[in-house]
Each structure stands twice: as structure tokens, then as C-alpha cells.
Chains A and B, each alone.
Chain A
Amino acid sequence: MILKKMILDNFRQFQGQQEINFNTSTPSITIIYGTNGRGKTGIFRALIFCLFGEKSLAQDENINIKDINLVNTQALEKSDGKPVVAMVATTLVHENKTYEIIRKIRGLKEGSEIFEEGFELTLVKTDEQGNTAPPIKDKTTINEIIGNIFDPKIKDYFLFDGEKIERLTRADVQQKKTVAQGIKNLLNINDLENAINGMKSLLNNLNAQLKIHSQGKFAQVLNAIATTNKSMEDNQIKQETVSAQLDAAEKELRKYDGELDKINEIKHVITQRKALLAQEADLIETQSSRIDLLRSKLTGTAASLLMPIIVKVYSQLDTKKQTGEIPVQSKLDLIDKILKDHRCICGTTVMEGSCEYGLILKWKNRIVDSGLSDNALNLWRDLNAIIKETPGTIDSVHKALIDYDKNQIDVTQIHEQLKKISDQIDDSAEEKAKGFNQSRDKVNKDIGSYKNQVRVLEQEYQTLESKKVELTRQKEKLQEEEGIKDELHACAALATDTNEALNNIFNSFTEDIKKQLSDLASSAMKRLLDEEGKWSLKRIVVKNDYSLQVHDHRDEPFLANISAGQRQIVSLCFITALAQVATGKDRFEIPLFMDTPFGRLSLEHRENLIGFIPQICQQWIIMVTDTELTEKEWNFFRKVNCNCTFYKLSPLADGTTKVENIPVDEALTSIQAH
């Protein structure tokens, strides 16, 4: 089957009618390129909706289906409360016949609520001679025709999104379910499973009847078998219950991880805010110490204002000091002695009434006010100190003021930055993260407990199985010994053997398919991994419990140690292996539709994947974001030996998306424009 064309009309982001013509050469690549939110997944959704009538995708597991709207919201806004019809028409070619499938859905907006209902499905078939049959409108007939072209059970292996790829790498219940369901769908063994269940039910009936008709030891053994069967059934029910709880807990864990991822996206801003707040606190502390310094220098600062007067007074005092006027160079008692003895220390007689006596007396009178002299001396000392200290004080105050001013500018800038950050993020982000982490821890503990319960129940089941084998052996021995060969026993024996045969066939099928998948996935892994990965990882194994495992070069389990990119490679290998097994051919004849598959892949892994897929699939339709498709990846695509078509999803002013076919030669310019 080859996808030829898809027309979207008022579907999701695509307002009005828009068309995509897929490259139909074999092998071919159709690239649909667009930034996030432009509608890549909308195209994937359109295909799933058109072919199978489904509204939701794997990635919608946490979204209520009522919240998924397919009709373009802008068209609904403009419709003034009237219904709007959205349509997807897909044209495909299968075994030389062309099929056009048109599916319509009607939407109505009432207030803030949108109601949608599917209302028309049409299929138009044109044969290889170009004869077009009358349109088919009957849904059952159309679904049968589509089912024959593209079995809905295996659609998951050809149409998958990043979420589905991601899911396979998780070692959880969901992963096991996905792998187990994939294998069962591939084998088409639902009938075999139903037959086994019917046979089990028959065996229980026959054993119950035998119990009624049996006596003694044989009855005891039958009773024990019935009790063991009942215990095994109870065990299975418990296992299913605990598995469901485990599944729910793992879903919840993913929900919290998703929330934490969102918070992690702004984590760097929160970290920046923390750093700024610390920086702001430091600056404020520094400012505070500068203010203390300025306060301590206040006296000196004030003195500097009076400096000319201080210098003048000091100079006068200093002159007097130099001339010995202050302090007084002689002692009063010495003068008194001279006056009393009438003799100077130089030996000159100083008589009362003489001129010398008069001068000495005058000198004495001047010295009598010695307190004034002390005060003058103290003032001289203080002024001296002020004059010496003041220039240093002025310098330090000046420097402190400049620093204060500079710091204040920094504080203002930090305030502005903090305001910008506060506008960007919710103040409660950290609190929320704490809350999510606590809830996550709790759920994680529950998961551990559930896993433990599952392990215990599995062990119990194995013990019960062994007990049943032993009891059945005893029963057969007693049957022989007691010669019980009536019809009931023969029936029970035949039912037991048939049940065993069916179980063996079922196990043999699943074992075969697990081996095939392991081999194909391992072979793909060797093609896709980088050199280091090729050396360290040996093969992919589908385990008995349907979980995926990767073995290292020593053939030891290694999944827990591989990188996120390598995990994605493992998933892609498994999915391509499923697709190969589903078609039973090396190159499968159904389009491989991938939505954002490169997310976690390194450049080398991307190159390997781009080279590998066209070798195993005839039509590859890939939707990529601007971060997934740069000039480098584009060059890888150009190196692949197959035809390529390039579409770009461009935003329009009203928020809708325009689908543009870009000639391959101009695609690089378009990519570089991003």
C-alpha cells in the first residue's frame, strides 16, 4: 500500500482546504517540517482519523477524549454558533487499485464548549483500468475494505509517534503490555487464546463432575486438583489486580515526571533567581557596612567643612607656640623665688621698684593665667590632629560614597532582573516541584511494593503449577491402579491432552516470534548504533515476560546502563522488526509514518537511521521539528538514494497553519531560515 494524497479541510490547525501529495516513488521519503505546535501531529492524527475513525493517539493517554477537538477552532469561532464540518480525504494505492477515503466530522461551539460528532464516511474505488465504482457509504463495508488493506491490529507498527517510541524504552507494565499485544496481534492468535480459555473451562467442568462421581483417595486427589486450580485462578486475578494498580501507579509517576520536566525547563531561571537574590543580599549587607563607615567618619567629615578656619587658628597658635608663648616655658614658683630672693638665676640683683623687677612682675602676671595656656595648647593639639587626619577621612568618605553609589546601581539592576524573572515564572514553581517530588516518591514506593507483590504472586503461581503437575501424575496413577476408565475420565484425559497441545502451540508461536523479533531488532541495532554502541551492545532480547532487554558484549543484561539515545534506538529497532515480521518481508510494503522520531538521538544515530529506514521500507513519511532537521540532517537525507518531497508547515497570523510544498532544491534555504 502506498499513500498518495491527503486533503485536510478545517481539520485541527489547518483552516480551509489544504493538500499534501506524498512522494509515491519506491523507495521514497516525504518530509513534513515544522516547529512545535504547527500541526505535525495533526497530520498524523488526520491519517488515523481518516482510516480508522479514531480521535486519540498514544500520546493522549492523560487527556480526556472529550477535550480532543478535530474541527478547526478559528472556523468554529467565525461560524456564529453554526456547525462546521472538518474533513480528511486520504487517497491510497493498493494492488494497483486506488482508494479514496473521505471522513467528515461536524463540530459546534456553544459558549466555551465544543461538541463534535462524526457523521459521514465515503469510499471511492478505482480499478487498474481507471473505472470508478459508485461511492460506498456503508461504514461496516468501508471498515472491512480498509481492514483488508491495512489491518487495524498492526497499524501501530507503521504509524507511530515519539510517545510510542518513548514508551517502549520504559521497563514497566505498559511496555510489557505493548510488546505482548504486538506479538499476539502479529501472530493473529486471538482464536487460539480463546480456544485455550474454552478448553480450560471444559477441564474445570469435567473435573467437577469427576469429583461428584469419585470416592476415597482418588476423590482427595481430585479435590486437591480443584483447590489448586482455584488457587491458580485466584492468583491470576490477584496478579491482574496488582498489575492494574502497578500500571496506574506508573502512569501517575509519568504524570509527575511530566510536570517536573515542565518545571525543569524553567529550572535555570529559578537557579538564576536564587543567585540574584543571594547577590542582592550581599550587596545590601555591603551597603549597610558602608553606611556604618560613613556614620563613623561623620565628625571628621564635618571638620573638613571648617578646614580653612581650623588651619588659620592652628597657624596662629603654632606661631605662639614657636615663640614660646604657649605653653609658658618657666615655672611660677621659680619667678616667685626670684622676686623673693631679689636675685635672678643669672646672678643679677633684682631690687623691688627696679625696671627688671617690674618686667618680672609683669611676666608673672601673664603666667598666672596658666589654665588659659593649657587650653590653648590642647586646642593646638586637637587642631593639629584634625588637620592631620582630615585628608584621610575625606578620601575614605569619598571612596565609600563612590562605592555606595556603584553598589546602588547594581542593586537596581538586580531588582529589574528579578522583576523580569518574576514575570516569567510562577513564584510557587519550587513549591510545586517539591510537592510533585513528594507525590512522586510516594508513587515510586507504591510501584516498588506492587512489583514485589507481583514477584511473590508469580512465585506462588509457579509453586501451584508444580503442585498441579504432581497431583495430575498421582491422579493418572490412581486411575490406572483403580482401573477407572469410564467415559468421564477419558473425556478429562482428552481435554487435558488437547489443552496441553494448544498451550504448547501457543508457547511455540510466541517463542518463534520472540526469536524472530530479537534477531531482526538486533540486526537493525547493529546498523543504527555508533561505533562505541556496536562494540558494547550485542543484541536485543524479548524476554519471557515480554519485556525488552539489551545484552552487552559479554551477553549480560545491560538495559539499565544504556543512554536515553540508545534506548530510543532500541525502541526503533524493535518497532521496525515488528513491521518487518508483520509483512513477512525484508522491505515492508506499507508506509512507515513517523512523528518526531529523532528527539534523543545523537547526530551519528540520526545519520544511521536516515540511511537505514529507506532500505527496509518503501515509503517513509517523517515529521520533524526545526531542532530535529538542521543542515546536517538534511545532508544525510540528500545522501540517501531515494526520491524526496519536502513540505513545510508555516504559521499564519491568525494562529492557523499553512501547508507549503517546497521544491527540494530550496528546502535547505527554508531550513536555514530557522
Chain B
Amino acid sequence: MPETNKKIADKLEYYPKNVQMLATYAIEQAKRINAAALSQLLEQETKKLVRKDMAK
């Protein structure tokens, strides 16, 4: 079986840090919950990342 997660991480390296973090978080959470519940979690995570960015 191809090492999917490793390959995804490799491919994400070419994207900005925030995108990498949000995408990794989305895939991790997607393993255990459905798309609707995932959307709420992602909104919180997105806001967290944006606020951190804006605070810089």
C-alpha cells in the first residue's frame, strides 16, 4: 500500500505554512468525523490560524 500520508505531506510542502497546517488538520480530523461536523472544526481552526497571522 502506498504511504499516502507521507506523499500528501511531501506534496503540501510546496504550499504556504497556513495552508499546510489547515490541510493536515483537515485530513487528520476527516479520519474520524463526517463532512458537516468537520466543517465546524475547520472554521475554528481557520480562525485560530488567521488570528495568529493577523496578530504578527
Contacts and interface: CB of A to CB of B under 8 A. Distances in A.
Chains A and B come from one and the same complex: yes
Contacts of A197: 35, 38
A194 B38 contact: yes
24 contacts: A191-B30, A194-B30, A194-B34, A195-B27, A198-B26, A198-B42, A201-B35, A202-B42, A205-B39, A206-B46, A487-B50, A490-B50, A490-B54, A491-B43, A494-B50, A495-B22, A498-B18, A498-B23, A498-B26, A501-B23, A505-B8, A505-B12, A582-B1, A584-B2
Contact of B1 (A188, A205, A498): A188
Given A195-B30, A494-B19, A494-B22, A505 B11 contact: yes
A151 B1 contact: yes
Interface string A367-397: 0000000000000000000000000000000
A497 interface: yes
Interface of A: 151, 154, 186-189, 191-192, 194-195, 197-202, 205-206, 487, 490-491, 494-495, 497-498, 501-502, 504-505, 508-509, 582, 584
Contact of B23 (A187, A206, A487, A502): A502
B4 A497 contact: no
Contacts of A504: 11
A188 B4 CA distance: 7
Nearest to B51: A487
Given A187-B4, A188-B2, A584-B1, A199 B26 contact: yes
Interface in B1-28: 1-2, 4, 7-8, 11-12, 15-16, 18-19, 22-23, 26-27
A194 B1 contact: no
Nearest to B37: A198
A75 B52 CA distance: 72
Interface residues of B, number: 33
B26 to A, nearest CB: 4
Contacts of A188: 1-2, 4
B47 A491 contact: yes
Contacts of A202: 38-39, 42-43, 46
Contacts of A186: 1-2
A501 B50 contact: no
Contacts of B43: 202, 205-206, 491
A590 to B, nearest CB: 12
A508 B4 CA distance: 12
Contact of B47 (A487, A502, A582): A487
Given A194-B31, A494-B19, 5 more contacts: A191-B31, A194-B34, A195-B27, A487-B51, A505-B11
**Chain A's interface: helix, strand, loop or mixed, by majority?**
helix
Given A186-B2, A195-B30, A205-B43, A487 B54 contact: yes
Given A201-B36, A201-B38, A490-B54, A508 B11 contact: yes
A504 B22 CA distance: 15
B25 to A, nearest CB: 9
Contacts of A494: 18-19, 22, 46, 49-50
A198 B31 CA distance: 11
A494 B21 CA distance: 11
Given A195-B26, A494-B19, A509 B7 contact: yes
A155 B51 CA distance: 47
A555 to B, nearest CB: 29
Nearest to B14: A501
A199 B4 contact: no
Nearest to A495: B46
A197 B18 CA distance: 19
A505 B26 CA distance: 13
A193 to B, nearest CB: 8
A498 B34 CA distance: 18
Contact of A195 (B2, B16, B23, B51): B23
B12 A501 contact: yes
A502 B42 CA distance: 14
User: For A151, A188, A199, which residue has the most chain B Cβ atoms within 10 angstroms?
Assistant: A199
User: For B7, B27, B47, which residue has the most chain A Cβ atoms within 10 angstroms?
Assistant: B27
* 6 tightest A-B CB contacts, nearest first: A198-B38, A194-B30, A201-B39, A195-B26, A197-B35, A195-B30
B42 to A, nearest CB: 4
A209 to B, nearest CB: 9
Contacts of A187: 2, 4
Nearest to A504: B11
A190 to B, nearest CB: 8
Contact of A501 (B2, B15, B34): B15
B10 to A, nearest CB: 10
A502 B20 CA distance: 10
A187 B2 CA distance: 7
A191 B27 contact: yes
Contacts of A151: 1
